[in-house]
Chains A and B, each alone.
Chain A
Amino acid sequence: MLRYTVRRFGQLILVVAALSVLLFAWLRSLPGGPVSALLGERATPESRAQLQAVLGLDRPVHVQYFQFLGRAASGDFGVSTGVQPGDDALSIFLQRFPATLELSLLAIVLAVAAGIPLGYVAARRRGGWLDNAGVVSSLVGVAVPVFFLAFLLKYVFAVELGMLPTSGRQNAGIDATRVTGFFVLDGLLTREWDASWDALKHLMLPALALSSIPFAVVFRITRAAVLDVLDEDYVRTAYSKGLTDTVIRGRHVLRNAMLPVVTIIGLQTGALLSGAVLTEKVFAFQGVGEALAIGFERRDYPVLQVVIIAAAMVYVLVNLIVDLSYAVIDPRVRT
């Protein structure tokens, strides 16, 4: 188990190294660039060349890359040119990361809390109205683009009904103490309940929009897995022992059905970040996704590099946790 974990960490380093090369080359092959983004189209060639030299973009790409690596080793990922010009790219990421984590966690919790029970009930009552409604809504969840759903939710619940705020992470009027950068958690830690509640209200709509795809996937996979498990001989054995429905459901059906579901939850966290880019943009939610969106518009290489590499690391780590959790759920993997 330990060897396995160590090997997976080795893989993580390889993934990050390969990704950094690709990313570096790919970003610089995009049309435009930070200079055009900063100076506009009508800048003189002299001022362009000057800015390029200042940013270090006049040197060959491989020289730039090794320079980047050398600085990154000491924690210097460069200075933002577009998102928050002049600020350190890494600290922009660190400052925004809790927001995205908060949003993603709530989205996954919503998706799992709704997807697993509904998937189970749908499988037990296959062909019933709840099953059909679940299947249709999961299809809609996958098919409707996240940004469209985000706009729709914002229009209905924030603009028309005025139940929830339209954008941001917290009302500016609230004087909240910052501890961890997780606004809901900060409020709980400092007993500023109103700050927590306000941050939660700001989270609701983006999290709902973001959870639509993971919910649909978790629901479908749970439903299929439960249908498979219900046909297994050991479930019949459980019934032949006269066990209660509670024991059969938890110990015999769901525990076995969770294996594919856990895998898919891991894979979905990757998809979550691409969803977060759109959702955060729509709700002007100051997270990593929004930084990524603005970073692309303004060709902010340092911020894009930090965010994308960090996202890849999170993705690999989450899937490592998923693989390790297999061993907890399935004894056959342990040996």
Chain B
Amino acid sequence: MALLEVDDLSVVFTRKGEQPVVAVDGVSFDVDPGQTVGLVGESGCGKSVTALAIMGLLPRRGVRVSGSVRFDGTELLGLPAAAMRDRRGRDLGMVFQDPLSSLNPVVPIGLQITEVLERHRRTPRKKAMVQAGDLLTRVGIPDPRRRLDEYPHQLSGGMRQRALIAMALACRPKLLLADEPTTALDVTIQAQILALLAELVRAGDTDLGDTDLGDTALVMITHDLGVVAGLCDEVNVLYGGRVVERGPRHPLFAAPHHPYTVGLLASVPRLDGPRGQRLSPIRGSVSDNIPWTSGCAFAPRCPNVLGACTSVTPEMEFGPDERLLRCHNPVPAPQEVRA
């Protein structure tokens, strides 16, 4: 059974006197225990809102969430606030985009870790401090004893993100949601953090002793296909609040079938491409209110657009290579697209 089943999840922001904004429009995907799943898409496609909806962290007022989020057999949507609070930090952890603003500037790193252990495991402060030191070691922070007493501004960007990961994993959650965890970091640190995440969530094939964090499922939210390529077992490509293509990593990268996925891959700059070749961007940008109701939301930007695309909403169906697609006119052969 899947650990996390997101089914037809929709999030609508409503403000008095304004048109409601549909941020997530019927997203469905599953995550198995220990699996790493990517949610990929450009800014505004609803990937962060999806994560916040799963965590129950969206504001109560002005937001309508519908559909279903089943975690470990329990429906999370509509769960009483106290029950949801018990799960957050214990069964579900989350790592955010900007590690500096996501850490409390006036509380030492150590306390920001131990407060999770104190809350969910009732670990006494002293013992929790020792565990927090072990966790910092585990996420690759040197001299953890000293770091426990330091404040976020005294740490480097990479260390802050490592500390944030330590907090999210302190209670060994079954699921970790990482929302653009590397976007605010420079490139060399990005690679280190990705390697760390990959190592931490990998099924327990190494003996990690007391800080064994294996078998944690990871949902990786990113706009960076490079991140997905290096990490994810399965990839969901989002556009306009819906999943438009889903498949295992290698086949999807080798042969993308949705014109949007093809466009995303083509717009990644490549070092091994022909010299002087221009980047090929996707024309236009994501519109605010998603017109999935009457046709395909990607149609205005799609090079493969047909007459039906602007009148009939495509459903999620098996396309070429048994790939799940939401498209009337998928890109057939991968000849001109390099793997």
Interface size class of A (residues with CB under 8 A): 20 to 34
Are B119 and A242 in contact, with the CB atoms below 8 A?
Answer: yes
Quick one: which of B141-182 are within 8 Å of A by CB? 151, 153-154, 164, 167-168
Best-buried of B103, B104, B168 by chain A (most CB within 10 Å): B104
A242-B86 contact given A232-B101, A234-B101, A331-B153, CB 8 Å threshold: yes
* CB of A49 within 8 Å of the partner chain: no
Are A239 and B87 in contact, with the CB atoms below 8 A?
Answer: no
Contact of A242 among B87, B107, B108, B164 (CB under 8 A): B87
Interface size class of B (residues with CB under 8 A): 20 to 34
* Smallest CB gap from A234: residue in B: B104
CB distance from B74 to the nearest CB of A (A): 15
A251-B90 contact given A236-B102, A243-B119, CB 8 Å threshold: no
CB distance from B284 to the nearest CB of A (A): 30
Q: In the bound complex, how far is the Cα of B171 from the Cα of A240, in angstroms?
A: 13
Q: In the bound complex, how far is the Cα of B98 from the Cα of A232, in angstroms?
A: 11
Quick one: which of A235-270 are within 8 Å of B by CB? 236-244, 247, 251-252, 255-256
* CB of B94 within 8 Å of the partner chain: yes
A240-B119 contact given A255-B106, A331-B105, A332-B151, CB 8 Å threshold: no
Are A233 and B98 in contact, with the CB atoms below 8 A?
Answer: yes
* CB of A330 within 8 Å of the partner chain: yes
* CB of B250 within 8 Å of the partner chain: no
The 12 sampled A-B contact pairs (Cβ below 8 Å) are: A233-B98, A236-B96, A236-B102, A237-B102, A237-B167, A240-B55, A241-B88, A241-B119, A243-B119, A252-B104, A256-B104, A331-B106
Are A252 and B107 in contact, with the CB atoms below 8 A?
Answer: yes
Kindly supply a per-residue 1/0 record for chain B positions 297-313, scoring 1 wherever the CB is within 8 Å of any chain A CB and 0 otherwise: 00000000000000000
Are B88 and A233 in contact, with the CB atoms below 8 A?
Answer: no
CB distance from A30 to the nearest CB of B (A): 48
CB distance from B65 to the nearest CB of A (A): 16
A residues whose Cβ falls under 8 Å from a Cβ of B = 232-234, 236-244, 247, 251-252, 255-256, 329-332, 335
Contact of B151 among A240, A247, A252, A331 (CB under 8 A): A331
On chain A, the residues within 8 Å of B119 by CB distance are 241-244, 247
A237-B115 contact given A242-B120, A252-B107, A332-B153, CB 8 Å threshold: no
* CB of B57 within 8 Å of the partner chain: yes
On chain A, the residues within 8 Å of B55 by CB distance are 240
* Smallest CB gap from B82: residue in A: A244
Closest 6 CB pairs of A and B: A242-B89, A242-B88, A241-B89, A233-B101, A331-B151, A234-B104
Q: In the bound complex, how far is the Cα of B103 from the Cα of A332, in angstroms?
A: 13
Q: In the bound complex, how far is the Cα of B173 from the Cα of A242, in angstroms?
A: 12
* CB of B41 within 8 Å of the partner chain: no
Contact of B104 among A239, A251, A335 (CB under 8 A): A251
On chain B, the residues within 8 Å of A252 by CB distance are 104, 107
Are B105 and A240 in contact, with the CB atoms below 8 A?
Answer: no
Are B106 and A256 in contact, with the CB atoms below 8 A?
Answer: yes
On chain B, the residues within 8 Å of A247 by CB distance are 115, 119
On chain A, the residues within 8 Å of B103 by CB distance are 234, 237
CB distance from A67 to the nearest CB of B (A): 52
* Smallest CB gap from A258: residue in B: B106
* CB of B93 within 8 Å of the partner chain: yes
* Beyond A237-B94, A237-B104, 14 additional pairs, beta carbon < 8 A: A234-B101, A236-B96, A237-B96, A237-B102, A240-B168, A241-B168, A242-B120, A243-B89, A243-B116, A252-B104, A256-B106, A329-B106, A330-B106, A332-B153
A233-B106 contact given A239-B57, A240-B57, A244-B119, CB 8 Å threshold: no
CB distance from A321 to the nearest CB of B (A): 19
Q: In the bound complex, how far is the Cα of B115 from the Cα of A255, in angstroms?
A: 16
* CB of B85 within 8 Å of the partner chain: yes
CB distance from A274 to the nearest CB of B (A): 33
Q: In the bound complex, how far is the Cα of B112 from the Cα of A251, in angstroms?
A: 10
Kindly supply a per-residue 1/0 record for chain B positions 102-131, scoring 1 wherever the CB is within 8 Å of any chain A CB and 0 otherwise: 111111100100011001100000000000
* Smallest CB gap from A332: residue in B: B153
* Smallest CB gap from B85: residue in A: A242
Quick one: which of B200-246 are within 8 Å of A by CB? none
On chain B, the residues within 8 Å of A330 by CB distance are 105-106
Q: In the bound complex, how far is the Cα of B119 from the Cα of A243, in angstroms?
A: 6
On chain A, the residues within 8 Å of B102 by CB distance are 233-234, 236-237
Q: In the bound complex, how far is the Cα of B115 from the Cα of A234, in angstroms?
A: 14
Kindly supply a per-residue 1/0 record for chain B positions 268-288, scoring 1 wherever the CB is within 8 Å of any chain A CB and 0 otherwise: 000000000000000000000
